[in-house]
């Protein structure tokens, strides 16, 4: 029940295309859903986050869509760039509890 | 703002040795969490410190211990190192409802 399932495991997108990463959760007590971007050898960087009372949040080229009834949320990267090539993790947290991470999606954006 | 800083960045230890990793949280953050990230995996929660007390703990053996100091900085200690302890160790700091911010990590190699 504590798991967060993430797909796909890897994603290849053409420059300028849309990258979509999906996550699903079981624990309805989760109240905060962040996305992290991680480059090789670096720590995860907080990209964007959403609370379950909001259906969508947009920051620049990054958008989170949240479907509370389906217990699913997704990250959309518009106009994907080669610099976006990284591993993306969705996560979920309850209150100030530990972060539960998805398994990660390796995104490669080709010019 | 220096963000979350960790030291050292890389470390090589021999099996059976002990290691101490250090973390300074982002300015104003009072909660420090430690995560272990194996190659190609998502971060796994080790434990969390708040007000110098271990608030919660993940599924890690007692060989993993920690400490938080009055200035909110923290240490992670691992005793009797095993080859399987080789990983990227991440420190994250947070403040109440805000998202967790990660340091760049310490790459520990056990030989």
Cis peptide bond prior to A67, omega within 30° of 0: no
- Residue bearing the bigger pLDDT, B61 or B94: B61
Per-residue model confidence (pLDDT) at position B2: 74
> Which has the minimum average pLDDT: A82-86, B48-52, B63-67?
B48-52
Mean pLDDT of B37-62: 93
Mean pLDDT of B39-68: 94
Indicate if the pLDDT at residue A96 is higher than 90: no
Per-residue model confidence (pLDDT) at position A98: 84
As given in the structure block, the two tokens for residue A82 are 């080669």
Q: How many percent of chain A have pLDDT more than 70? A: 98
Residue B16 CB coordination number (10 Å) = 10
As given in the structure block, the two tokens for residue B18 are 């002990």
- Tell me the per-residue pLDDT of B83-102, one tens digit each, with 9 for 90 and over: 999 999 999 998 765 678 99
DSSP three-state, residue A83: helix
Q: Any CB–CB contact under 8 A between A102 and chain B? A: yes
DSSP three-state, residue A82: helix
Q: How far is CA B101 from the centre of its chain?
A: 13
Indicate if the pLDDT at residue A27 is higher than 70: yes
Closest Cβ–Cβ partner in B55, B99, B105 for A46: B99
Cis peptide bond prior to A62, omega within 30° of 0: no
Q: Any CB–CB contact under 8 A between A66 and chain B? A: no
Quick check: B99 and B92 in contact, CB under 8 A? no
| Smallest Cα distance from A105 to chain B, Å | 10
| Smallest Cα distance from A103 to chain B, Å | 5
Mean pLDDT of B70-74: 96
Taking CB atoms and an 8 Å limit, are B105 and A102 in contact across chains?
Answer: no
């Amino acid at each position: 029940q504590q798991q967060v399932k993430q797909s796909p495991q890897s994603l290849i997108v053409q420059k300028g295309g849309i990258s979509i990463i999906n996550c699903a959760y079981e624990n309805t007590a989760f109240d905060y859903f962040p996305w992290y971007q991680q480059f090789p050898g670096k720590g995860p960087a907080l990209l964007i986050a959403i609370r379950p009372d909001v259906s969508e949040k947009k920051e620049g080229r990054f958008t989170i869509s949240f479907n509370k009834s389906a217990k699913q949320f997704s990250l959309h990267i518009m106009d994907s760039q080669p610099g976006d090539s990284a591993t993306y993790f969705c996560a979920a947290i309850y209150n100030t509890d530990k972060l539960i991470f998805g398994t990660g999606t390796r995104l490669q954006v080709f010019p | 703002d220096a963000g979350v800083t960790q030291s050292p960045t890389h470390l090589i230890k021999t099996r059976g040795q002990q290691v101490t990793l250090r973390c300074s949280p982002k300015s104003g953050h009072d909660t420090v969490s430690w995560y272990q990230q194996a190659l190609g995996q998502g971060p796994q929660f080790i434990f969390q410190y708040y007000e110098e007390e271990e608030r919660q703990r993940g599924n890690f053996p007692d060989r993993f211990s920690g400490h938080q100091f009055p200035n909110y900085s923290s240490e992670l200690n691992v005793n009797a190192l095993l080859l399987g302890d080789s990983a990227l160790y991440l420190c994250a700091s947070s403040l109440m409802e805000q998202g967790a911010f990660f340091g760049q990590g310490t790459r520990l190699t056990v030989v």
